[in-house]
Amino acid sequence: MVTPNSISRESDLSGGEYKWGFVTEVEQDFAPKGLSEDIVRLISAKKDEPEWLLEWRLKAYHHWVKMAKEQGEPEWAKIRYPQIDYNDIYYYAAPKSSTEAPKSLADVDPEMLATFEKLGIPLQEREKLAGVAIDAVFDSVSVATTYTEQLEKLGIIFCSFSEAVKNHPNLIKKYLGSVVPYSDNFFATLNSAVFSDGSFAYIPPGVRCPIELMTYFRMNAEGTGQFERTLIVADKGAYVSYLEGCTAPFRKTSQLHAAVVELVTLDDAEIKYSTIQNWFPGSKEGEGGVYNFVTKRGICRGVNSKISWTQVETGSAITWKYPSVILQGDNSTGEFYSVALANNHQQADTGTKMIHIGKNTKSTIVAKGISAGQGQNTYRGQVKIMPSAENAVNHTQCDSLLVGDQCGAHTVPYIEVRNPTARLEHEASTSKVSDDQLFYLRSRGISEEEAHHMIITGWSREVIKELPFEFAMEAGQLLKVSLEGAVG
Amino acid sequence: MLQVTDLHASVVDADEEILKGLSLSIGAGEVHAIMGPNGSGKSTFANVLLGRPDYVVNSGVVTFEDEDILELFPDQRALRGMFLAFQYPAEIPGVRPWQFLKAALDARREYAGEKPLSVRDFSKLFDDKVEAVGIDPDLVKRSLNEGFSGGEKKRNEMLQLEMLEPRLAILDETDSGLDVDALRIVAEGVNSLRSPDRSFLIVTHYQRLLNYIKPDVVHILVDGRIVETGGPELAMTVENSGYEQYIKAAVAD
């Protein structure tokens, strides 16, 4: 825990506003607005991609056009937003100075480095000491990757997606789309057609990645969509902990974010994936904000393998994401720990899917939703036990916390069991911050706002403690800043 | 230190008054006990002093160190040196006693214009006090009051009292549900903190806690008013003959 004093000073400065909302003046290289086959070809050409990848993009594009015509966007989620004009979006925006890729940090645009400084992204020497390797994605292009050489000695590959396409085409060819096929869903299909960059990590057999890998995403250019793609493969017996952070500047217009993340674990491997999502949530009146339509899925392909998702979702006007695990290998484990916050006019529809295929597979879901202001928070989860999944076990816990009386919390669990040996537990609770708790803390000299914060982060602790230490501190602060004005 | 004049209070949204003109005065360094039968308003009084929002003050004046405190929020009263040891402390999941007390002590020090204690100094103080009040050290690593037994909750209240060192400590039936050992720990805590500039208000139904903490003044509270004030011997009178005579007298009023 950060000491309460330092938190309150921090928040005083922000004055209850989104404090990551600065814009960086960097020359941008845009593709024209709108989506067409030509744009897809242009993106692929800009990146000097091999023919097979262009083909894959085009298959996705044509499939998306068909989906758009026949079904349109998915409508089952409990979210409302104005129609998105897909022809009014820039699908490619690279900072101009990086069209020739930077060779080292010295080659990176100083304005951009200053942006990362403001974000507190550790890119330089002192952070190397902290043991974090970072791939920073600015709009859709990967800017700089630290620590690569040290990782290379262990055979670990950690680089931007574009570099991976160039340098490790066989791995990309083998795994791209293997968990989230290009035809998966409207937003994933769109991503498959136009994704411009992202991160790639490969951990070779038996290697335990000694540091946390991290990608920091930031949207900057106005009217751009961000379509990054992350692929992480943990080979037999490998382990990696991966962190992802996101911010976007304050803008009146909405920005579309449609990312795809694919995780693969082979025998005895483990991936721990942590996200702090702090995209701009829109103004207090509900203007602007990021539409966050993300497809995240992992597959435990090998026996005894494990995938764990932890997310703290405080940003975005709309959050639509369901990080999932397909438990294919026998004895494999899937976990999902989530805190989602919806304040002001934010809408969050988030949860997970656990698909049990292998024997003795086990999944744990701890989903916590905080609703404040007029925020609407929905947990939507699916647990599916296939006939082959002997002795599968699932434990699901959904907790909702309401702050104020104009917000909403909704829980939509789907359970499908096709093997009688399965054991499933589902617990759900809804609570408010109680007056007794508040009075107790305040009677010790703790201010009302601080008391609320303490109760809410305490309530979220089961999830926050799953995050790596530095991230856990950031998560606590984000919860506090995001809730300012909602209490009292 | 504390001056209460003709205090009238009721539960929010209820017509009937619980405190019906309560007056008392506590000087610096004094230990006062308030005794009374169930439903006399003892706990209400203790909670109203800290500003619990379930109650509304209809009239009367309460000053703490010559400042009118009725308009102050509970945290503002606490920062000025008031403390309530709860009869039923709230359970707060996920908040560790260590973290909670650090925040409370930092807030108080900041109000007093002092720097917060370093984590190291705070931890040492905390560990010493945990040992002194006899709390299982594993317990304070868990969530605040969650899953604590009745006795553990009371000890945790005493831990906070010792850490925060208030000017005025109000103990709301801290003795209820305690065995003799725990009772002795509470009493030792209070006795060790007695000083010329610190006062206590001990709210209790029974006289037994007063065997261990010798009060300077004993008040008998019946039906929302102080009906009798005396020395420590008054507690013995109540112990021997009960509250009947006071209740009858109050009804006869």
Least CA distance to B143: which residue of chain A? A458
Q: How far is A465 from chain B (nearest CA, A)?
A: 10
**pLDDT over 90 for what percent of chain B?**
69
Q: What are phi and psi of B135, to 5 degrees?
A: -90, 140
Q: Is residue A413 less than 8 Å (CB to CB) from chain B?
A: no
**Contact check, Cβ <8 Å, B143/A450:** no
C-alpha distance from A2 to closest chain B C-alpha (Å): 9
- pLDDT (0 to 100) of residue A136: 60
* Averaged pLDDT for residues B15-28: 94
Which residues partner with B10 through β-bridges?
Answer: B17, B56
What range does the domain containing B227 cover?
2-92+167-252
Please tell me which of the candidates B78, B100, B164 has its beta carbon nearest to residue A454: B100
User: Mind listing the pLDDT tens digit for each residue in A269-279?
Assistant: 999 999 988 87
Q: Report if residue A400 sits inside a domain.
A: yes
Integer Cα distance of A318 and A308 in angstroms: 23
Written as six digits, the tokens of B229 are 């004030």
pLDDT category, A25, cuts 50, 70, 90?
A: low
CB contact under 8 A, A3 and B53: no
Query: Does A482 fall in a domain?
Result: no
Confidence band for A468, pLDDT divided at 50, 70 and 90: confident
CA distance B211 to B184: 10
Most B CBs within 10 Å: which of A366, A431, A440, A463, as the mutation test of the B interface? A440
Q: Is the dihedral of CA B224, B228, B233, B238 positive or negative?
A: negative
Q: Is residue B124 part of a domain?
A: no
Residue A465 lies in a domain: no
Q: Would residue A245 count as lying in a domain? A: yes
**What's residue A67's pLDDT?**
92
Cα–Cα distance, A450 to A441 (Å, whole number): 9
CB < 8 Å to A4, chain B: 102-103, 106-107
Exposed / middle / buried, residue A33 (Cβ in 10 Å: 0-12, 13-18, 19+)? middle
Mean pLDDT is lowest, of A30-44, A145-159, A291-305, B94-108, for A145-159
Given an 8 Å threshold on Cβ–Cβ distance, is A455 in contact with B95? yes
Rounded to whole angstroms, how far apart are CA atoms B192 and B187? 8
Give the percent of chain A with pLDDT over 70: 78
In a domain, B137, yes or no: no
Does A264 reside within a domain?
Answer: yes
List residues in chain B touching A: CB distance below 8 A.
Answer: 50-54, 73-75, 77-79, 83-84, 86, 89-95, 99-104, 106-108, 110-111, 116, 143-144, 160, 164
Chain A nearest C-alpha distance from B62 (Å): 17
Residues of A in contact with B51 (CB under 8 A): 443
In a domain, A145, yes or no: yes
Distance from CA of A311 to the nearest CA of B (A): 18
CA distance A3 to chain B (A): 7
| pLDDT value of residue A8 | 26
Least confident of A23-37, A74-88, A455-469, B48-62: A23-37
Three-state SS for B66? coil
Band of pLDDT at residue A95, cut at 50, 70 and 90: low
Enclosing domain of residue A321:
6-431
Which residues, in sequence order, are CB contacts of B176 under 8 Å at separation 6+?
B87, B205
Q: What is the pLDDT of residues A136-155, one digit of tens each?
A: 665 545 544 556 677 888 99
Residue range A332-344: mean pLDDT, rounded: 93
CATH number at residue B36: 3.40.50.300
**B27 is a domain residue:** yes
Mind telling me how many Å the CA of A397 is from chain B's nearest CA?
Answer: 15
A66 touches B: beta carbon within 8 Å: no
What does residue B123 show for φ and ψ, rounded to 5 degrees? -60, -40
Report how far residue A265's alpha carbon sits from residue A52's, in angstroms, rounded to the nearest whole number. Answer: 25
Number of domains, chain B: 1
pLDDT above 70 coverage of chain B, percent: 99
Confidence of residue A375 (pLDDT cuts 50, 70, 90): confident
**Number of structural domains, chain A?**
1
- Does B116 contact A442 at a Cβ distance shorter than 8 Å? no
pLDDT tens-digit map of A237-263 = 999 999 887 665 555 667 788 999 999
A144 Cα to chain B: minimum distance (Å): 37
DSSP element (H, E) containing A362: strand A362-372
Among candidates A443, A448, A457 on the partner chain, residue whose Cβ is nearest the Cβ of B78? A443
Chain B residues whose beta carbon lies within 8 Å of the beta carbon of residue A460: 94
Q: How far is CA B91 from the centre of its chain?
A: 18
Mean predicted confidence (pLDDT) in B196-212: 90
Query: What pLDDT is stored for residue A118 in this prediction?
Result: 52
**What mean pLDDT is predicted for residues B223-235?**
92
**Partner B contacted by A436 (CB < 8 A):** yes
User: What mean pLDDT comes out for the span A325-352?
Assistant: 93
Residue B134 domain flag? no
- The 10s digit of each residue's pLDDT in A166-224 is 999 999 999 999 999 999 999 999 999 999 888 899 999 999 998 888 877 665 555 66
Radius of gyration of chain A (CA): 22
Average pLDDT, chain B: 91
Contact B106 A5 (CB under 8 A): yes
**B171 part of a folded domain:** yes
Q: How confident is the model at residue A108 (pLDDT cuts 50, 70, 90)?
A: low
* Preferred mutation among A433, A434, A442 to probe B, highest tally of B CBs within 10 A: A442
Question: Over 80: is that where the pLDDT of B212 sits?
Answer: yes
CA atoms within 13 A on the CB side of A53: 28
Contact status, residue B12 vs residue B55, Cβ threshold 8 Å: yes
Residues of chain B with C-beta less than 8 angstroms from the C-beta of A439 = 50, 52-53, 74, 90
Cβ of A450 under 8 Å from any chain B Cβ?
yes
The answer to whether the CB atoms of B107 and A457 lie below 8 A apart is no
Q: Rounded distance, CA B134 to CA B128, Å?
A: 10
pLDDT in tens, A416-457: 999 999 999 999 999 888 889 999 999 999 999 899 989 999
CB A303 within 8 A of CB A329: yes
Nearest to B74 among A439, A450, A461 (CB): A439
How far is it, in rounded angstroms, from Cα B76 to Cα B73?
A: 5
Q: Quick one: average pLDDT of A85-97?
A: 72
* Distance of residue A346 Cα from the nearest chain B Cα, in angstroms: 26
| Residue B248 maps to a domain | yes
Is residue A470 scored above 80 in pLDDT? no
Tokens of B13: 């949204």
Distance of alpha carbon A164 from alpha carbon A358, whole angstroms: 31
Please, which residues have CB within 8 angstroms of residue A175's CB and are 6 or more apart in sequence? A231, A233, A262, A264
Q: Which of B84, B95, B108, B123 to mutate to test the interface with A (most CBs of A within 10 A)?
A: B95
Measured distance CA(B73)–CA(B79) in Å, rounded: 10
Mutation site for A-interface testing, chosen from B44, B52, B56, B75 by largest number of A Cβ within 10 Å: B75
3-class secondary structure, A172: helix
At B131-181, the pLDDT tens digits run 988 888 888 888 999 989 888 888 899 999 999 999 999 999 887 777 787
Residues A223 and A88: their CA atoms lie apart, in Å, by: 8
Q: Which residues contact A112 (CB under 8 A, 6 or more apart)?
A: A24, A26, A95, A97, A98, A138, A143
